[in-house]
Amino acid sequence: MTVWCFGSINIDHFYRLDHLPAPGETLPATSYEVELGGKGANQSVAAALAGAVVRHIGAVGADGASALAQLEGFGVECSGVQRLEGPTGHAVIMVDSAGENAIVIHPGANRALAAGPALKALEGAELGDILLLQNETAHQAALAEAAMGQGMEVIYSAAPFDVGAVRAVMPFVNVLVVNAVEAAQLQDALGVGLEDLPVESVVVTRGSEGASWHARGTPQIHVPALPAQVVDTTGAGDCFTGALAAALSEGQDPEAAMRFAAAAAALQVSRPGTSAAMPRRAEIEALLGESG
């Protein structure tokens, strides 16, 4: 099966600092790097390096040639990426010495893309293919509805969290992926527990506490986080979701897919960066072998 990702493509500007700035504080950066990013691109790269066939649908601006070349260099097919006027999406990412981050995003082409070409690109999908999507583009609900109508499995990473966006997309979702904070916000907003959300399955990522799979009428699956020397947590959730999609596309059961994704995330946080830190399949399998 193919993993299709409808998602953002960003140019990430990384500033490494001793600590994150307080209001009004000016700090010198210890280093500066530019890298491919965006939740969509990150998930596409994570899935491709984990072994999946990946096709990306999205948009870049007039300054996006390098970002697109990097995405293709990771093995992601990009014929569904629109080339627009104006800027490519970009992010300013500050990372402190403990690996924690603060991020500012400008959406650029990600919000300017047209629905028609995106839907046209998705027509090439086959029954059982997977669609990954997030909240950094326009037209998520339209793509999710089209994918479900074509018999695809839809995995929705509800980040950055917005309850209105989640309400619109959720009717067309098979697997909803949220972190622990987002899960609590969603339950508060809708007034229901995880098992009563109108989706087949909910995956909750909990950082160092691992991740859990909730499906109505079946026992909860919990997988622990693997030990890691944390260097940078930026993109860890995207790594987990992309690797999870890759494993599910191969027919792995939820518990095996979750363990695979947890191993990928453990490797990713031990390295600096986002897309460049995504692990390859052989590394993931080696870590799983070492952990038993």
Biggest distance spanned by C-alpha atoms of the chain: 53
- Peptide bond just before 224 cis, omega within 30 deg: no
pLDDT at position 232: 85
| CA atoms of 215 and 220, how far apart (whole Å) | 7
Q: How many CB atoms lie within 10 A of CB 244?
A: 33
**Cα 95 to Cα 16: distance, rounded to the nearest angstrom:** 5
Cα angle vertex 159, ends 210, 68, to 5°? 105
CA distance 243 to 278: 9
For 101, the 3-state DSSP assignment is: strand
**Given the DSSP bridges, would you call strands 130-133 and 2-6 parallel, antiparallel or unpaired?**
parallel
Q: For residue range 234-288, what is the model confidence (pLDDT) as tens digits?
A: 899 999 999 999 999 999 999 999 999 999 999 999 998 889 999 999 999 999 9
- Selection from 181, 185, 190, 216 nearest residue 202 by Cα: 216
Which positions are catalytic? 238
pLDDT at 100: 85
> pLDDT of 24-38, one tens digit each?
999 999 999 999 999
Contact 43, 5 (CB under 8 A): yes
The letter for the amino acid at 289 is G
Domains, the chain, ranges and CATH?
2-7+40-83+109-291 (3.40.1190.20)
pLDDT at site 140: 97
Q: Write out the two tokens for 244.
A: 């999870």
Structure token pair of residue 22: 């307080």
Name the pairing type of β-strands 10-16 and 31-37: antiparallel
H helical segments located in 104-216: 109-112, 115-122, 140-149, 163-169, 180-190
Full-model pTM: 0.93
Using DSSP bridges, classify how beta strands 221-223 and 211-215 pair: parallel, antiparallel or unpaired.
antiparallel
CA 166 distance to own-chain centroid: 15
Q: Which residues contact 184 (CB under 8 A, 6 or more apart)?
A: none
How is residue 115 annotated by DSSP? H
Given a cut of 50, the residues of the chain with pLDDT beneath it are none
